[in-house]
Amino acid sequence: MGLKGFAEGGIASIVAGCSTHPLDLIKVRMQLDGEKPPLPSLRPAVAFNASRSAAVVTPEYFHIPPPQPPRVGPISVGVRIVQSEGVAALFSGVSATVLRQTLYSTTRMGLYDVLKTKWSDPNSGNMPLSRKITAGLIAGGIGAAVGNPADVAMVRMQADGRLPVAQRRNYAGVVDAITRMSKQEGITSLWRGSSLTVNRAMIVTAAQLASYDQIKETILEKGVMKDGLGTHVTASFTAGFVAAVASNPVDVIKTRVMNMKVEAGAAAPYSGALDCAMKTVKAEGPMALYKGFIPTISRQGPFTVVLFVTLEQVRKIFNQF
């Protein structure tokens, strides 16, 4: 299969990523909802008046946290983004999505195709589910390691609009984001949360690609439907649901770790993935790990459908050459 599988997977992934980008942005905003920002340095709550030698309590020195906004759904979040930031804000970070799909998805889709070709039964063309899962884990892990810088940039660009104007990073694009992160926070910042990215990608790829192939093969073997659009849509949507359920907790933690702001000389809000998970659960409850699940499945479903339907069509076109 060689480079052909990488090209097919890359084209399909870019089309799917761009077409579902607004849903991904809403998911990121919802995953960050409820996260407590780092507190500013507090001034002394008591000031001493030298002339009166009496302690004067000044209320303005107290830090009073703002009330938590009510939890809202994906449609409300989308409407709020459009009202406060404009329609174009729904595509914030789309350049990073293109780069991410070019690096991450092209690699994982191509590697999975190579492993599938090598491990499939030469007579039937199929391979056992265990091998599909193994191929997905390997391909997803390698793809995530390659695409992590674009993933960090994408999360930050999508999350920027929720910050106060003075705290926004205002990246001009994915290249500007990666360049500034490298200069201001060091090269290693481009791989912040990489362990989470790799873990999530392994789970998503194994669940998504293995499920699609297994369901598609079962439908064809049982004669439920013929090999066509109906089969592709059914198999891909089911695969998207499986991937969303399996990956959402890791995705929430990944989003928060990547988006955290580390001030010079100050301790990072999270020391790592486990610390972030524990603080999230302690502050917001276990179900916080499934924040953004509705937009996740709303995005993962269409993304997976567009991905595999496009992939099948691209394969037909490539097979003509």
CA torsion angle 96 101 106 107 (round to 10): 70
Q: Residue 275: inside a domain, yes or no?
A: yes
Q: Residue 172: inside a domain, yes or no?
A: no
Q: Residue 246: inside a domain, yes or no?
A: yes
Q: Residue 174: inside a domain, yes or no?
A: no
Q: Residue 11: inside a domain, yes or no?
A: no
List per-residue pLDDT tens for the chain, 321 residues long.
468 889 999 999 999 999 999 988 998 888 888 776 554 444 444 444 444 444 454 444 444 555 555 567 888 999 999 999 999 999 998 999 999 999 999 999 999 999 999 999 888 778 999 999 999 999 999 999 999 999 999 989 988 988 888 889 999 899 999 999 999 999 999 998 888 889 989 999 999 999 999 999 999 999 999 999 999 999 999 999 999 998 999 889 988 988 888 777 788 889 888 999 999 999 999 999 998 888 788 888 899 999 999 999 999 998 887
| CA 9 to the chain's CA centroid | 18
Encoding tokens for residue 121? 């039964």
Distance CA 157, CA 24 (A): 12
Q: Residue 316: inside a domain, yes or no?
A: no
- HSE-CB for 103 with a 13 A CA cutoff: 17
Q: Which domain covers residue 237, as residue numbers?
A: 200-290
Q: Residue 213: inside a domain, yes or no?
A: yes
Q: What is the pLDDT of residues 98-113, one digit of tens each?
A: 999 999 999 999 999 9
Q: What is the pTM of this model?
A: 0.75
When divided into structural domains, the chain yields a total of 1
Q: Residue 90: inside a domain, yes or no?
A: no
